Structure 1
Amino acid sequence: MKQETEGKQLFSLYDMVVVGVMAAIIFVLTYFVQIPIPTPAGQTMIKSANIFILLAGLLFGGLRGGLAAGIGSMIYDLLDPRFISDAPLTLIRFFLVAYICGKIAYMNGQKGENKWFNLAGAFVGGFMSVFLYAIQSVCKLMIAGSDFSAAVVACVPKLVTSSINAIVAIVLAFVLVFPLRAALKKVGFYQKISIR
């Protein structure tokens, strides 16, 4: 009996649906619900999708949440000529953000139900996004010929915007995760997926 559960598929149809639906939500929110902000280091934006990037990890664990966050964000970049060259890094960045967020929320057998593990996951994921974005932005400017200190100064407006994004996303994801999890439990959704 134990071998049967251990031999269970890594991804069921329901798991694929979770990844697809969350990726679609993240893409649509990035595409339609954003405030573009021009900066000396290039355009950045305040976007509501960051909330759902963290929620993907909090609700569905590291792997499923990470895939949904990375794929949804990457699709946006692929469809916008300004960001198309960033698509591979976007996939990796947002996968890591939701993956780490979900892994923390589900660590030590918590199953995503402990409020402190959820808050820690959202906090680490949110600020990991800022950190990775800062590295990416500075490196791009240095590749273009800027020296390190000038690149950092030029990226300050992007970092301020990213930090605001992170704080809003952390707070709202933390507020929304418990009612959304309760609704998913009520309809029996968690019995159909295997969170890892």
Structure 2
Amino acid sequence: MEQNRGKMGASSAKTSTYDLIKVGLMAAIVFVATSIIHVPSFMGVVHLGDSMVFVAALLLGKKKAAAASAIGMSLFDLLNGYTAWAPFTFVIKGVMAYIAGSIAYRRDYEGKKIINNILAFAIGGLFMIAAYYFSGVLMAKYIVSPSITINEAFLLALKDIPGNIAQVVAGIVIAVPLSISLNKVKK
């Protein structure tokens, strides 16, 4: 177990109790960050939880961050009236964290290169924006307003893109300085 503590970002073949605790705690942090400041939008919510998705990617690595982010964000959806979004959120936030963690830990960067981390967060965020856009199309067409055409659903889903962009930018602005501080403590 001591080896796992020294390699917080590395993935191992076995899942230890310590790994489960880290994922559970980070899922709780993601949930709380999403719950504290969130603003309902037409078909969803804009929140600051993405900052903790990005931090999870740096602290836990891609696989554990994906699990923590998927659990924390979908739990928020389930407990706050966004139940229809929970399956989308589980996949989208999990993949978002996986992308960010993969880029942050590529080569020998080990999540410590600030510019690389910003790139990782931005690419993960771009994935999230696109994925929620297409999920919004499905929600608009088949759940919110089944009588509209698919073209109207594509237009209607555009309305959430500015909020999602703001959410990603705020997440990056919070996660970058926080991750710098946490990397110092992690040593």
TM-score by length of 1: 0.82
> Which ranges of 4 or more aligned residues in structure 1 deviate by more than 4 Å?
none
Paired amino acid for 1:26: V
Q: How far apart are 1:9 and its partner, in Å?
A: 5.0
Q: How far apart are 1:157 and its partner, in Å?
A: 2.4
The answer for the alignment partner of 2:9 in structure 1 is none
Q: Distance in 2 between matches of 1:104 and 1:98?
A: 10
Give the unaligned 5+ runs of structure 2: 1-11
The answer for the alignment partner of 2:15 in structure 1 is 11
The answer for the alignment partner of 2:29 in structure 1 is 25
Number of matched pairs = 173
Paired amino acid for 1:32: I
Residues 23 and 68 of structure 1 are in contact (CA less than 8 Å); yes or no, is this contact kept in structure 2?
A: yes
**Structure with higher RCO (Cα < 8 A, 6+ apart):** 1
Residues 70 and 93 of structure 1 are in contact (CA less than 8 Å); yes or no, is this contact kept in structure 2?
A: yes
The answer for the alignment partner of 1:67 in structure 2 is 67
Q: How far apart are 1:27 and its partner, in Å?
A: 1.0
Give the greater-gyration-radius structure (CA): 1
1:24-71: per-residue Cα shift (whole Å, max 9, x none)? 01112222321223x2xx2x3221111101111122110011111000
The answer for the alignment partner of 2:76 in structure 1 is 76
Q: Distance in 2 between matches of 1:46 and 1:83?
A: 12
Helix, strand or coil at the partner of 2:117 = helix
- Counting aligned pairs with the same residue, the percent is 27
The answer for the alignment partner of 1:90 in structure 2 is 89
The answer for the alignment partner of 1:36 in structure 2 is 40
Helix, strand or coil at the partner of 1:169 = helix
Q: How does 1:1-196 map to 2 (within 5 A)?
A: 10-37=14-41, 39=42, 42=43, 44-80=44-80, 82-143=81-142, 144-185=146-187
Paired amino acid for 2:40: P
Q: Distance in 1 between matches of 2:85 and 2:47?
A: 17
Q: How far apart are 1:180 and its partner, in Å?
A: 1.1
Residues 62 and 101 of structure 1 are in contact (CA less than 8 Å); yes or no, is this contact kept in structure 2?
A: yes
Give the unaligned 5+ runs of structure 1: 1-7, 186-196
Residues 122 and 174 of structure 1 are in contact (CA less than 8 Å); yes or no, is this contact kept in structure 2?
A: no
The answer for the alignment partner of 1:3 in structure 2 is none
Q: Distance in 1 between matches of 2:39 and 2:77?
A: 16
Q: Distance in 1 between matches of 2:180 and 2:171?
A: 15
Q: Distance in 1 between matches of 2:97 and 2:82?
A: 21
**Range moving further from structure 2, 51-60 or 139-148:** 139-148
Residues 56 and 65 of structure 1 are in contact (CA less than 8 Å); yes or no, is this contact kept in structure 2?
A: yes
Helix, strand or coil at the partner of 1:35 = strand
